Amino acid sequence: MSNNKPVCVSLDDFHDYAKATMPKSSYDYYALGAMDNETRKNNRKAFSKIRIRPRVMRDVSNVDTTADILGHKISMPIGIAPMAMHKLAHPDGELATAKGAAANDTLMILSTYSTYSMEDVAKAAPDGLRFLQLYVHKDRTAASDLIKRAEAAGYQGLVVTVDRPKLGRRIADAKNKFKRPSDMKMQNLKEEKNKNEDRGTFNKGMTGTVDSSLNWATDIAWLRQTTKLPIILKGILTAEDALLAVKYKVDAIIVSNHGGRQLDGAPPSIEALPEITEAVQDRIPVYLDSGIYRGSDVFKALAYGAKAVFVGRPTLWALCYDGDKGVDKMLKIIQEEFRLTMALAGCTSIDQITRDYVRRKEQYIPKL
């Protein structure tokens, strides 16, 4: 890292650096969401409406942030969310992200739309824990091939995105006539599936190669027949769908609104979380992404029943800042913020973080 780069002490500092240095069309592609950006903005605002109820004199001289994800022990309940095209942020792209995650002993979820192949990412951080995020393609042979490659490359879970039957309307991309650079390929996809989508027009809710006919009755069964990997559904925002996930015996769900990039007007993930964890009642693990920028955000999500969270955009800003070293630094910052929040709230392990530690800003607390 060159000496003239600013010192980053919070995740917002990485964002400020990326905004000042990235090409506008690339920054906008990462930073902005669908339509009016209502959901994207509310993802962060919603965390500020939650108050932490700290307990004192609890002996917090030793605080343990370790967590478990589907039987895998990780150093903190904070992983890397799947995002497309990391090369827009740094030439080393997903290779650097994988190294940063592995250096912090935590999980990285690799996007189907990675700009390095899943095999190369595995080689870059051979000891790292990785899941593959999957968009199920209309061509099920292509989808099956991706799953088999992930298994062969040592990926330990399959994260199936279920909230993108059609591409959200991203106005900034249309105005910028965004296309990925011509020399940048989606390395997990075969050439015929690697078409550079034109986002300069409305495209009538374009799906590209993604199958918009996914349904509960047949496709969970198809996934089960295709892989022995744990199946995690990403994009759940209602108790009704969470209960269907339990019914169809998926292994976990991620409460997510796609970072506000799909349905604008959908609830912030943290607002959707309580009804989902109440409905699920610990029958399957519930995770969360969208809007995580602070260690206190992590604490609030766990208090409402999430077992872990995934950081999206801050990873890309950190990648832009200093490649794998930037991702490493970003994860260390948010882990230490989380550890400090635990200590100040009176918790020494994540199993102690319960709903008793949070309330909504407007919520009435009865007298004891």
pLDDT tens for 256-305 read 999 999 999 999 999 999 999 999 999 999 999 999 999 999 999 999 99
Whether 59 shows a pLDDT value over 80: the answer reads yes
Mean pLDDT of 61-90: 98
Confirm whether residue 111 is marked as ligand binding: yes
> Would you state the structure tokens that stand for residue 39, as one six-digit string?
């959901």
Q: Is the pLDDT of residue 105 over 60?
A: yes
312: nearest Cα among 79, 113, 144, 104: 79
Asked whether the beta carbons of 270 and 41 are under 8 A apart, the reply is: no
Q: Is residue 299 part of a domain?
A: yes
| 259 falls within a domain | yes
Does 135 appear as a known binding residue? yes
Query: Is pLDDT at 207 greater than 70 in this prediction?
Result: no
Distance CA 84, CA 106 (A): 19
- Residue 312 annotated in ligand binding: yes
- 116 annotated binding-site participant: no
Write the pLDDT tens digit of every residue in 6-26.
999 999 999 999 999 999 999
With 50 as the cut, is the pLDDT of residue 205 above it? no
Does any domain span residue 6?
no
Calculate mean pLDDT across residues 306-318. Answer: 98
pLDDT at 218 over 70: yes
Cα distance between residue 284 and residue 244, in whole Å: 11
Q: Is residue 257 part of a domain?
A: yes
Among residues 15, 86, 137, 258, the one annotated as catalytic is: 258
At 161-179, the pLDDT tens digits run: 999 999 999 999 999 999 8
Is 7 a domain residue?
A: no
* Interatomic CA distance for residues 352 and 354, integer angstroms: 6
Please give the pLDDT value at position 209. 76
Mean pLDDT over 67-79 rounds to 98
- What local confidence, expressed as pLDDT, does residue 331 receive? 98
Q: Which of 172, 235, 201, 126 is nearest to 27 (CA)?
A: 172
* Catalytic residue list contains 15: no
Collect all residues with Cβ–Cβ distance below 8 Å to 43 and sequence separation of at least 6: 257, 259, 260, 268, 269, 270, 290, 291
Q: For residue 192, what pLDDT is reported? A: 46
Q: What is the mean pLDDT of the chain?
A: 93
What pLDDT, in 10s, does the model give residues 246-259?
999 999 999 999 99
Number of structural domains (the chain) is: 1
Percent of the chain, pLDDT > 90? Answer: 86
* pLDDT at residue 194, as a whole number: 53
Task: Note whether residue 12 is domain-resident.
Answer: no
Encode pLDDT of 24-49 as tens digits. Answer: 999 999 999 999 999 999 999 999 99
| Domain of 348, in residue numbers | 21-190+198-363
pLDDT for 204 equals 41
Tell me, what's the pLDDT at 363? 67
pLDDT at 74 over 60: yes
Whether 364 has a pLDDT exceeding 80, the answer reads: no
Tell whether 72 is covered by a domain.
yes
Domain of 281, CATH number, reads: 3.20.20.70
Q: Is 367 annotated as a binding residue?
A: no
pLDDT, tens digit, 9 for 90 and up, residues 127-159:
999 999 999 888 899 999 999 999 999 999 999
Residue 159 lies in a domain: yes
Residue 365 has pLDDT above 70, yes or no: no
